[in-house]
Structure 1
Amino acid sequence: MESRIMPMPKNTYFQMLFENRHVADRKFAIECAEGSDEAEIFLYDTIVSDKDEAEWWGGVDPETFVNAVRGIDAKNIHLRINSPGGSVFAARTMEQALREHKATVTVHIDGLAASAASFLAMVGDEIIIGEGAMMMIHKAWTVSWGNADDLLAEATLLEKLDGTLAKTYAKRAGGDESTFADYMRNETWFTAEEAVTAGLADTIYDAEPAPKKEDNTQNAICPSWQCNAFLNAVNRPDKVSDVQDFVSDEHRDRQMQRLNVLTCCALAVN
């Protein structure tokens, strides 16, 4: 079998990471005053699979998040979210760390809880969404290549992932899994009011601005995310350029080299 250069496949996950690589005011931090029973986790960033991706694209990896959560000794954790989401399994790992913690978890959706960040929010014993904030849920993504059996196996895995996600939303919201499966299929964006109505959030913040901190430092600023990778994004342009336009020529060449190496290895094994 002859080796050849393969076209770079569309990968909306990496498109999302690339578009947000240089977004200002990204933040992941744990803040807890000495002797306080209250701790705040600021997840104002993307969710990435591992430390290598975090180093290249930015974002929060599960190992860093879990270690930070395990270091919290407080009765109440306030998870503050403004994130376009990211890796499903990374977010699942973060979710489990919070579920296993002794603290009561209150989730605050300060800006956007999209994709993986939306089901991470379901960990909250209470979910509070800001007036003007949004949530988005959709079906899982992947990129794959291979023969028909390989692609069918990948599709089966995606269906299983979608089933677990619909179950998580339904369990927290109190609805039917089929209802949330339909929301996911249609990539549904929820306003604060719609999120509460659907059961994805409990209450909406008061519209009054938050007071400044006692040390006169400004409150954390929510980054503004680019969401062109999503089909129905509120800030998506009317016309989207070619699916590969989000990468530079240099980055595309590097990705092509890696893909060709993987292809050659696969051919050698076959």
Structure 2
Amino acid sequence: MKNFLKLLRNNATVERVPLNLVANEDKSEATFYLYDVIAQDWGIGALDVINALAGLDSKTTVRMRIKSPGGDVFEARAIVTAMRAFMANGGKIIAQIDSIAASAASWIALNANEVEIVEGAFLMIHKASGACWGTDVDMHHMGDLLNKVEGVIINEYAARTKQTPEQILTWMAAETWFTAQEAVDNGFATRVISTLAEHPSNLAKLAWNLTSFEKTPEALLNLKPSDPAPDDKAILEQNQRRMRLLDLNT
């Protein structure tokens, strides 16, 4: 939780992008952008995804483009549940990692039918974390909850990647960042694509401040987030007010 709050504070001025569902005329294909923290009140939440999918034909192919540092694991679980329901009814979801799919965002990506990752993008997995205030009993309960949450995630990563649970746990404990090719080689992605190859400056525009993580690759630490667009001033001011409140309460 501490790292999550730090992540939010560090990115208070990053340009935010709503889910923004775009469908073709007959709704046979659609695209939406998961370009934010996974959290209902602070970024993109399950209701955003549920409402977007609910407006589509059950046979629609959806391209879920991802640029997210992760967020709330339970919100991610609700998003995954919505995705699975949509796919079970005949829909198809292709996850496209445009920049990063870290933490809970990587888990969301792996629950799509296919996972594409752009050259120069990263996927990251790490151990579950949380915060607790109270007695030793409360602390033990929190530890038990984290172990249960982590166990479910490990099993799902292992099933998708065909890696052993022990290998997944080793990677999570080390906070492992996979390059595009490494993600494919280890079963986390279906293929590498070069959508941004002709426009390398786009990667800088997609940058997050990731210093809240322990092992962020230098390639990502050196990227500079772009200035917020003029139309986003109201969103920027709202986020800054939220960060000031966090500073007062943490």
Interval of TM-score (by shorter of Structure 1 and Structure 2) = 0.7 to 0.9
Q: What is the DSSP-based 3-state SS (H/G/I as helix, E as strand, rest coil) of the residue aligned with 1:28?
A: coil
Cα displacement (A) at 1:226: 0.9
Instruction: Tell me the percent identity.
Output: 32
Cα displacement (A) at 1:222: 5.2
CA distance in structure 1 between the partners assigned to 2:93 and 2:12 by the alignment: 29
What does residue 96 of structure 1 align with? 81
1:252 aligns with 2:231: no
What does residue 172 of structure 1 align with? 160
CA distance in structure 2 between the partners assigned to 1:18 and 1:65 by the alignment: 24
1:71 aligns with 2:62: no
What does residue 113 of structure 2 align with? 125
CA distance in structure 2 between the partners assigned to 1:248 and 1:25 by the alignment: 15
Q: What is the DSSP-based 3-state SS (H/G/I as helix, E as strand, rest coil) of the residue aligned with 2:34?
A: strand
Alignment gaps of 5+ in structure 2: 223-241
Tell me the number of residue pairs that the alignment of Structure 1 and Structure 2 aligns: 223
Cα displacement (A) at 1:236: 5.1
Q: What is the DSSP-based 3-state SS (H/G/I as helix, E as strand, rest coil) of the residue aligned with 1:170?
A: helix
What does residue 230 of structure 1 align with? 213
CA distance in structure 2 between the partners assigned to 1:161 and 1:71 by the alignment: 31
CA distance in structure 2 between the partners assigned to 1:38 and 1:30 by the alignment: 11
CA distance in structure 2 between the partners assigned to 1:27 and 1:13 by the alignment: 20
CA distance in structure 1 between the partners assigned to 2:71 and 2:208 by the alignment: 12
The residue correspondences of 1:52-63 to structure 2 (distance < 5 A) are 53-54=41-42, 59-63=43-47
Cα displacement (A) at 1:208: 7.0
8 A contact 2:32–2:64 mirrored in 1:
yes
Q: Deviations over 1:194-222 (max 9, x none)?
A: 111110001100367479xxxxxxx9995
CA distance in structure 1 between the partners assigned to 2:104 and 2:15 by the alignment: 21
Cα displacement (A) at 1:190: 0.3
CA distance in structure 2 between the partners assigned to 1:193 and 1:248 by the alignment: 36
Cα displacement (A) at 1:123: 1.3
Q: What is the DSSP-based 3-state SS (H/G/I as helix, E as strand, rest coil) of the residue aligned with 2:207?
A: coil
Structure 2 counterpart of 1:252, which letter?
D
CA distance in structure 1 between the partners assigned to 2:197 and 2:245 by the alignment: 44
Cα displacement (A) at 1:249: 7.0
More helix by proportion, 1 or 2?
2
The residue correspondences of 1:12-161 to structure 2 (distance < 5 A) are 12-24=3-15, 26-48=17-39, 50=40, 53-54=41-42, 59-73=43-57, 74-101=59-86, 102-161=90-149
CA distance in structure 2 between the partners assigned to 1:204 and 1:150 by the alignment: 44
CA distance in structure 1 between the partners assigned to 2:52 and 2:243 by the alignment: 34
Structure 1 counterpart of 2:78, which letter?
T
8 A contact 2:19–2:48 mirrored in 1:
no
CA distance in structure 2 between the partners assigned to 1:155 and 1:250 by the alignment: 28
CA distance in structure 2 between the partners assigned to 1:208 and 1:13 by the alignment: 28
1:163 aligns with 2:147: no
Alignment gaps of 5+ in structure 1: 1-9, 212-218, 238-246, 257-270
Structure 2 counterpart of 1:76, which letter?
T
What is the aligned counterpart of 2:179 among 167, 191, 197?
A: 191
Cα displacement (A) at 1:62: 1.6
8 A contact 1:84–1:112 mirrored in 2:
yes
Which has more radius of gyration?
1
Structure 1 counterpart of 2:247, which letter?
R
Closer, same or farther: CA 99–162 of 1 in aligned 2, 3 Å: same
8 A contact 2:17–2:36 mirrored in 1:
yes
Q: What is the DSSP-based 3-state SS (H/G/I as helix, E as strand, rest coil) of the residue aligned with 1:228?
A: coil
Structure 2 counterpart of 1:120, which letter?
I
- What is the Cα-based RMSD across aligned positions, in Å? 2.4
